[in-house]
Amino acid sequence: MENSQRSDDSGKSQSETQLPTPPSSTPTVIGSGDQTVKSNTRQQPASNQSSDADNISAQLQRAEIWMICLTALIVIVGGLQWHVMSGQLEQMKSGSAQTDRLIDKADSIAKSMTTAIQQNQVAIDKAADANRRAIDASDSENRRIVESSTAQSKKALDASIEHSKSALDFSIEASRLDQRAWIGVTKIDSIIEHDKSTEISVHIRNTGKTPAIDVHGMVVFEWKPAGTIPELKYREEDAGGRSILVPGYESTITIPNPRLFSLDETNRMKSGALKDYTAGTIWYKDIFDRHWETTFCFTFDHELKALTPCLFHNSAR
């Protein structure tokens, strides 16, 4: 502003002395946007001023053209950007739709897989339950078979053991019987005469293979009417001393004749009306600590010379 005022003042002073004063130049402002260009011109000739105006007009036109071109370019670029962004938006929308479809498809597949897994789990559970039942049934049947087989085997084993035991016991018993002591009466020495007393001697022998232990015996003499069974009363407790009789050896048990017989009694014995009985028992043990006994009974013949066995009280056990 100060420059313009100075120009005006100088112009006025010159016009007063020289030519009529031409229009004074004023500062020209050229600008676009926020920039402002100020130019101060000095007073020039009219031709120069016209040329400057033309130049300024041309520059303004070129600036406007550039502005128009730039604006058009901006519009074009903006349109292209809008087109590209619209395409991208459409692609994004399309991609979003495809993504939604993929998500839906994935959800459907996941649901299908979940259903299939659940169905498979149900099938597996059913199969496992069926297998367990089959295994239980098989185990039960196997247990029954095993128990039955075991019972049969045990029964057969028990029978075999019992049979073997019986066979062993029989073998042991047979061996013991074979090896045991056996005592028997070999003969009896006795004479019956009227008015004569004699002794009765009973001879015994061990015919077994092992010794007889704790040998003791009782001998009695009785006479009874024919047809009457003698009582033969005696007790083991009344037996005399004890002895051992080895295999193959004899021993003698002697008792005195209990009484004298009259001639009538001896005649009755010879006729058979009266019977005499010499009887007794020999007790002993074998080496296996088993108890045995031998009983005997003899009677005279009609001649009163020989003894014959009675029909009873003769045993060995």
List pLDDT tens digits, range 53-108.
778 888 888 888 888 888 888 888 888 877 777 777 777 776 667 767 777 877 78
Domain-embedded: residue 146:
no
Q: Residue 44: pLDDT band by 50, 70, 90 thresholds?
A: low
Higher-confidence position of 261 and 187: 187
Domain-embedded: residue 218:
yes
Domain-embedded: residue 277:
yes
Asked if the model's pLDDT at residue 185 lies above 50, the reply is yes
Q: What is the pLDDT of residue 290?
A: 95
Q: What is the pLDDT of residue 293?
A: 95
Q: Highest-confidence range of 12-26, 28-42, 196-210, by mean pLDDT?
A: 196-210
Task: Single out the residue of 31, 27, 26 nearest to residue 63, CA to CA.
Answer: 31
Distance separating alpha carbons of residues 290 and 176, to the nearest angstrom? 10
Sheet bearing 183-189, strands edge to edge:
183-189, 199-206, 250-256
Residues 309 and 189 both lie in one domain? yes
Q: pTM of the full predicted structure?
A: 0.50
Of the three residues 16, 51, 74, the one that is the final residue of a domain is 74
Task: Single out the residue of 184, 205, 183, 188 nearest to residue 299, CA to CA.
Answer: 188
Q: What is the pLDDT of residue 300?
A: 86
List pLDDT tens digits, range 226-284.
888 888 888 898 887 889 999 999 999 888 766 777 888 888 888 889 888 889 999 99
Distance separating alpha carbons of residues 126 and 251, to the nearest angstrom? 94
Q: Highest-confidence range of 8-17, 88-97, 161-170, by mean pLDDT?
A: 161-170
Domain-embedded: residue 196:
yes
Domain-embedded: residue 85:
no
Asked if the model's pLDDT at residue 6 lies above 70, the reply is no
Domain-embedded: residue 173:
no
Higher-confidence position of 165 and 207: 207
Asked if the model's pLDDT at residue 32 lies above 50, the reply is no
CATH number at residue 274: 2.60.40.10
Of the three residues 30, 51, 74, the one that is the final residue of a domain is 74
Q: What is the DSSP letter of 237?
A: G
List pLDDT tens digits, range 276-313.
888 999 999 999 999 999 999 998 887 888 888 988 99
Q: How many domains, in total, are found in the chain?
A: 2
Domain-embedded: residue 163:
no
Domain that holds residue 24: 2-74
Identify whether the C-beta of residue 242 lies closer than 8 Å to the C-beta of residue 216: yes
Domain-embedded: residue 221:
yes
Average pLDDT over all residues of the chain:
79
Q: Which residue has the tokens 């009163």?
A: 304
Of the three residues 32, 51, 74, the one that is the final residue of a domain is 74
Higher-confidence position of 139 and 279: 279
Q: Residue 142: pLDDT band by 50, 70, 90 thresholds?
A: confident
